[in-house]
Amino acid sequence: MTHRGTLIPGDGIGPEITSETLKVLEATGVHFEWDEQPAGVTALEQTGSLIPEATLASIRERGTALKGPLMTPVGTGFRSVNVALRKEFQLYANMRPAYTIVPDGRFQDVDIVMVRENLEGLYSGVEHFIPIDGDPRAVAVSEAILTRHGAERIIRFAFEYAVENNRRKVTMVHKANILKMVGGLFLEVGRKVAEDFDGRVECEDMIVDNAAMQLVLRPEQFDVIVTTNLFGDILSDEISGLVGGLGVTPGANIGDAVGIFEAVHGSAPDIAGQGIANPSAQMLAAAMMLDHLTEHDAARRLREAIRLSIVEDRVRTRDLGGTATTAAFGDAVAARLA
């Protein structure tokens, strides 16, 4: 079977890590028909738009996209290319798995999946200033918006993921002790959803500041975490730090009709073109994409090839303490898949 997808190489190091990811995808034996489209600064330079309509149309028609890191120009008035894509396709679930690959890190046996609500909360974009005594920007107000529908949708997504992937526990992270309405609603809805999975998935809830501390004290206690937009954004980077950083942690943005898979690190223009970027996160995002397309065996083999290349072959890029180039790492993973 040939899968049809939209390929967005991205900005900065994006084209380099995407090229190596395509190499290892081909080595899995799974076939893709790609429609390559630009976004971000590359698209702005080529078309005058950060997200050209042709790119949106391609994603809408194909339903699956593999995306490199994008850059949003400072001072343009455009909030974020990534946020715009999430809103355009209603990608309500952000998934960030992190597990120990590098064996000589500080933490071992970490295997956590962060499920983050992607459209609501403090990132809803409802903000305004209140003028006082002639100062038009004396007070800034940002509103955290949570709907019952949005909370139930993301929490149910996390529980269903746990069941489908033989995960043992879901931890609902909140701040209901202070944010009585937004946090309270999230917790209320979560406890109700948990009843539908009683006996299949263990459920607990944890206040966000305690969760942040527990992640660095005993990360092995966590399995699947589900939380609101801002908390998920912060904690997902903390979790990435437990396993070696953003260079080894992928992400996916999932909606009812579209899935976009990406490396979550930045475009790193300072090292673009030097051939030293770590493509692991982009490759692991491709593995998530394979699972999304029910190519589970290929996804498993790709993850294992990445792990063996780092652990046994010791082919490591500079961020992991090695000297391998981007292409050398891609060659090593592809060889493992051959």
Q: What is the mean pLDDT of residues 209-217?
A: 97
DSSP class of residue 102 equals: S
* Interval 272-298: pLDDT, tens: 999 999 999 999 999 999 999 999 999
User: Span 133-142, mean pLDDT?
Assistant: 96
Closest CA to 310 of 242, 244, 250: 244
Range with the poorest average pLDDT among 217-226, 239-248, 302-311: 239-248
Q: Average pLDDT, stretch 327-334?
A: 98
Domain 1-98+246-338 and domain 111-116+145-242 have a common topology = no
Sign of CA dihedral 278, 245, 260, 45: negative
The predicted pLDDT at position 72 comes to 80
Nearest residue to 252 via CA among 204, 216, 286: 286
Q: What is the predicted pLDDT for the residue at 81?
A: 87
pLDDT at 103 over 80: no
CA distance 118 to 305: 30
Q: Given 11, 223, 233, 331, which residue is catalytic?
A: 233
Residue 73 has a pLDDT of: 77
Cβ neighbours of 104 (radius 10 Å): 9
Catalytic site includes residue 175: yes
Q: What is the rounded CA–CA span in Å between residue 38 and residue 331?
A: 26
Question: Of residues 92, 123, 291, 331, which has the active-site annotation?
Answer: 123
Q: How far is residue 291's CA from residue 272's CA, in Å, rounded to a whole number?
A: 29
Under 8 Å between Cβ of 8 and 39: yes
Q: State whether residue 178 is helix, strand or coil.
A: coil
User: For 193-222, what is the mean pLDDT?
Assistant: 97
- Residue in 21, 90, 77, 16 with CA at minimum distance from that of residue 50: 77
By percentage, how much of the chain surpasses pLDDT 90? 90
123 among known catalytic residues: yes
Fold of 111-116+145-242: Rossmann fold (3.40.50)
Domain residue ranges of the chain, discontinuous segments joined by +: 1-98+246-338, 111-116+145-242
Task: Answer yes or no: is pLDDT of 79 > 70.
Answer: no
**Beta partners for 127?**
142
Q: Is 99 a catalytic residue?
A: no
DSSP assignment of 257-274: S-EEEEE-S---TTTTTS
| Superfamily covering domain 1-98+246-338 | Isopropylmalate Dehydrogenase (3.40.718.10)
pLDDT tens-place string over residues 35-68:
999 999 999 999 999 999 999 999 999 999 999 9
- Give me the chain's average pLDDT, please: 95
pLDDT at position 265, please? Answer: 94
Query: Measured on CA atoms in the order 36, 40, 41, 45, is the torsion positive or negative?
Result: positive
Question: In the prediction, which pLDDT does 1 show?
Answer: 82
Query: Which pLDDT value is given to residue 75?
Result: 57
Q: Which of 11, 92, 161, 175 is catalytic?
A: 175
Q: Average of pLDDT values for 302-318? A: 96
Query: Given 135, 196, 209, 256, which residue is catalytic?
Result: 209
The pair phi, psi for residue 79, each rounded to 5°, is -70, -50
Q: Is 161 a catalytic residue?
A: no
